[in-house]
């Protein structure tokens, strides 16, 4: 695990859904019990391995052929999550503040906030930071510094991002991610010297920087100000759900996870076809499948590091968001392939983009530019106006460092 406002509301959807089922239209979305069915083409099914007890989500054809097999997990936070056990030793601070007198007047009390991480001691010589090892001659920097997961131009991504920013502006702003999606329209310069200085002062044992004035740390507020991602809301978590959770409803008969999520799984399964040697789906393949906009941007020419002035020949977007194009016949084919009704086109289109954005810009993987099915749940919930704000940083940043 890593961890829009819909055209119709929930009640209208179920009325629309029931009407279509009664008319037996082939594009209907039929979901029943533990085993669900999309039109007459594929099924979702739960499976538990007898040898390992691992649980999987199967996407099967009508004849029982397994088209996709995805390992599932129980999410930590959601309506279908298991209750958290009580902690025996929470390791939390017993008091966040301490009280003391104001000068000699004992009748006036003041409170001081205690800092749990920062200590006014020079501990750089006692903890094994990278810089200390370099000074000792144990290791040294190589001739070139490569950074895994650095965002770079992917053909078709900028055209798709501009289309989504115009088409789903209100939805993205409600989820508080419009600005950071907008930020993915550009590539950014970096200085290896600055990065090396930070890395040399970092202590992996304490997740702090060891400096001459003591320990310093990066707070979530710092990350929010720098990156623009939300730090308040439900924790972000990448997980593939079992079908009973994917298709679950509450006591008001409202789905926990929008049906848009299943459309993304169907697209993922379809793009896996013919890739028997590699079950992963590349970002380029995902973008080409969903985005039918005319390509206008090329990759930036390679810029030398430490150059004081940016090259004049850059292919980055200008930042001006053009009007969204009307759905084309190529879009119609894509949505028809996935059995997406007209009322769910915008949210499915947005959810597919958000999954790509999460995998390429927010949490890129060192394994390469691939779509991760664990992002589908979060992408679908944001796109379908669940009015939930996800804290993308609080669950991830300290795990990654």
For 325, other C-beta atoms within 10 Å of its C-beta total 14
Counting residues of the chain whose pLDDT is more than 90, the rounded percentage is 22
Mean pLDDT of the 340-344 span: 91
Mean pLDDT of the 376-387 span: 83
Taking a C-beta distance cutoff of 8 angstroms, is the pair 180, 157 a contact? no
Q: How far apart are CA 161 and CA 119, in angstroms?
A: 44
Residue 245 φ/ψ region, left for φ over 0, alpha for ψ in the -120 to 50 degree band, beta for the rest: alpha
- Give the pLDDT confidence score for residue 401 in this predicted structure: 39
Using pLDDT thresholds of 50, 70 and 90, give the confidence band for residue 18. very low
Q: Give one DSSP letter per residue of 76-122, joined into a string.
A: SSSTTSPPPPPPS-----S-SEEEEEETTEEEEEEEEEPPSS--SS-
Mean pLDDT of the 87-93 span: 59
Give the C-alpha distances (Å, rounded to integers) separating 217 from 118, 137, 198, 221. Answer: 7, 26, 11, 11
Q: How far apart are CA 298 and CA 155, in angstroms?
A: 7
Domain ranges of the chain: 10-76+119-140+166-300+315-400
pLDDT in tens, 235-253: 788 888 888 888 877 778 8
**Does residue 167 carry a pLDDT above 90?**
yes
Which one has a higher pLDDT value, 274 or 327?
Answer: 327
- Give the pLDDT confidence score for residue 302 in this predicted structure: 60
Residue 121 φ/ψ region, left for φ over 0, alpha for ψ in the -120 to 50 degree band, beta for the rest: beta
For 194, other C-beta atoms within 10 Å of its C-beta total 9
Nearest to 31 by CA among 368, 326, 257: 257
Q: How far apart are CA 341 and CA 348, in angstroms?
A: 10
203-241: b (≥16 Cβ within 10 Å) or e: beeeebbbeeebbeebeeeebbeebbbbbeebbbbbbbb
- Give the pLDDT confidence score for residue 317 in this predicted structure: 85
Mean pLDDT of the 324-342 span: 92
Mean pLDDT of the 257-285 span: 85
Three-state DSSP class for residue 154: coil
**Does residue 24 carry a pLDDT above 60?**
no
pTM of the model: 0.72
Q: In this structure, what is the dihedral angle of CA atoms 14, 19, 22, 24, given to the nearest 10 degrees?
A: -100
**Does residue 16 carry a pLDDT above 90?**
no
């Amino acid at each position: 695990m890593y961890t829009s406002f819909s055209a119709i509301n929930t009640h209208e959807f179920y009325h629309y859904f029931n009407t279509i089922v009664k008319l037996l239209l082939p594009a209907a979305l039929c979901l029943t019990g533990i085993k669900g069915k999309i039109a007459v083409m594929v099924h979702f099914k739960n499976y538990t391995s007898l040898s390992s007890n691992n649980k999987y989500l199967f996407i099967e054809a009508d004849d029982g052929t397994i088209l996709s097999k995805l390992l599932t997990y129980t999410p930590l936070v959601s309506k279908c999550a298991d209750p958290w056990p009580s902690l025996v030793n929470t390791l939390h601070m017993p008091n966040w503040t301490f009280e003391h007198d104001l000068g000699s007047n004992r009748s006036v009390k003041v409170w001081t906030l205690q800092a749990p991480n920062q200590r006014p001691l020079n501990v750089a010589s006692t903890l094994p930071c990278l810089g200390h090892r370099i000074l000792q001659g144990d290791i040294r920097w190589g001739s070139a510094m490569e950074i895994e997961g650095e965002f770079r131009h992917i053909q078709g991504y900028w055209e798709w991002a501009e289309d989504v920013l115009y088409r789903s502006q209100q939805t993205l702003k409600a989820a508080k991610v419009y600005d950071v999606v907008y930020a993915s329209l550009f590539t950014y310069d970096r200085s290896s010297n600055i990065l090396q200085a930070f890395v040399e002062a970092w202590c992996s044992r304490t997740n702090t920087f060891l400096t001459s004035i003591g320990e310093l740390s990066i707070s979530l507020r710092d990350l929010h100000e720098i990156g623009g991602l939300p730090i308040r809301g439900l924790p972000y978590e990448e997980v593939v759900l079992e079908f009973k959770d994917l298709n679950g409803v509450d006591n008001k008969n409202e789905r926990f996870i929008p049906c848009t999520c299943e459309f993304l799984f169907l697209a993922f399964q379809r793009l896996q076809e013919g890739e028997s040697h590699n079950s992963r789906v590349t970002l380029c393949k995902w973008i080409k499948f969903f985005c039918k906009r005319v390509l206008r941007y090329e990759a930036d020419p390679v810029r030398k590091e430490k150059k004081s002035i940016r090259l004049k020949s850059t292919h980055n977007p200008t930042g001006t968001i053009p009007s969204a194009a009307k759905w084309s016949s190529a879009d119609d084919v894509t949505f028809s392939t996935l059995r997406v009704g007209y009322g769910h086109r915008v949210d499915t289109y947005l959810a597919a983009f958000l999954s790509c954005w999460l995998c390429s810009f927010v949490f890129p993987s060192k394994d390469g530019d691939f779509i991760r099915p664990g992002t589908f749940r979060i992408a679908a919930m944001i796109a379908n106006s669940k009015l939930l704000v996800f804290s993308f940083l609080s669950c991830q940043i300290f795990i990654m460092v």
